[in-house]
Amino acid sequence: MRWDPVGRRRIGLLAGLVLVLLPLVAGACTPGQNTYPGDSWSRVDPADAGFDPAVLDDIAAEAEANASHCLVVIRHGELVADWYWNGADATTSREIFSATKSVTSTLIGIAQAEGALDIHDRAAEYIPQWAGTAAADITIEDLLSNDSGRHWDLVSDYVNLVQATDRTAFGIGLGQDVPPGQTWVYNNAAIQTLDAVLQAATGEDPADFAASRLFGPLGMTHTSMTSDGAGNTNMFFGVHSTCEDMARFGYLFLRNGRWAEDQIIPQAWVDAATDQPSQDINAAYGYLWWLNRLGPVTDPLHPLTREQAATAPHVQLVPNAPADMYWARGLGGQVVQVDPGSDTVVVRLGPGDRSATYGQANTARVVTEALIDP
């Protein structure tokens, strides 16, 4: 056979090109990676999406028995199954309670990406009432992490704050219990002060900022933030939304902050907010998101000091669920669940019942029990 250096060179170049392109093609074909909903979600048969339909039905029956209004399962960017009860449908917007906090966190991330603020800034730069006080060293990150040290007690946080006409002024006017970074406390009043931070940093009402930067671009047409009696945007609760709209919000995070051709929020923010604990006291908390990381863990009604955390048992919120699963959570079992490993989002909304026992352990079953083809 005659030696053909040109032909062999071409073959070699082609082979090399194939080796370079194969990973790119494989990445481009990853299920769901380039799939986004338009005006509505495209649907897929549960079995084709890798689920046992009978187990999904059992999970839905459990949700129905717990007075749920809706339950939605998304995988690879498609709607696998949805259920509606108690007069609700896909357009029924309702209060999502503290799941609002994860929306607030996202608005801070967007503002940082736009250069309006830096989470390492002292909050007093935006809240002048704190300058020169015991609150002067609090950073925006402390407020996002719930270790700001601002005053907290049950009556103040769950009665007086809620009843206040001006909730932002109420939160700003409370005292400082301990220096930042010493105690983890689920502090609604401290989170409400992020209203003043965003207002000062962006020059916009946070509700308007959310509508233009987040809800609008994602097509969350049935979602809005609410205001207190003084016109301040509620930051610790108050978002009204639907199961499908909140699935869009969860899917934004599942896609590392990207929505179709637009990077709504930097991937670095998604990682910072949801990948690891934001502080070393409560392992189950990021930037206003709940995590499933192993470590000392506490719940909203029980503050945890650094000293207590040092000797606390290491557990997870849902022990049998993936460690990188995370949630936006609200009173009464409002859940937006994101699981990167299975490429799923699960949303459940229901009444704001303080006695409700439904929560992330129930929605996690979609991944731990119903998913048979991971």
> Hey, where are the domains in the chain?
53-370
Q: Which of 3-12, 172-181, 218-227, 264-273 has the lowest mean pLDDT?
A: 3-12
Q: How far is CA 350 from the centre of its chain?
A: 18
Q: CB under 8 Å to 232, separation ≥6 — which residues?
A: 166, 167, 168, 192, 195
pLDDT digits (tens, 9 = 90+) for 272-314: 999 999 999 999 999 999 999 999 999 999 999 999 999 999 9
Q: Rounded to the nearest 5 degrees, what angle is found at the Cα of 303, between the Cα atoms of 285 and 125?
A: 70
Q: What DSSP line would sit under 175-205, residue for residue?
A: -B-S-TTSEE---HHHHHTHHHHHHHHHSS-
3-state secondary structure of 341: coil
Q: Report the chain's C-alpha Rg in angstroms.
A: 23
pLDDT digits (tens, 9 = 90+) for 317-336: 999 999 999 999 999 999 99
3-state secondary structure of 268: helix
Question: Packing angle between helix 194-202 and helix 100-113, nearest 10 degrees?
Answer: 30
Tell me the CATH class for 53-370: alpha beta
On the question of pLDDT at 126 being above 60, the answer is: yes
pLDDT digits (tens, 9 = 90+) for 191-229: 999 999 999 999 999 999 999 999 999 999 999 999 999
Q: CB under 8 Å to 276, separation ≥6 — which residues?
A: 286, 291, 293
pTM score of the predicted model: 0.92
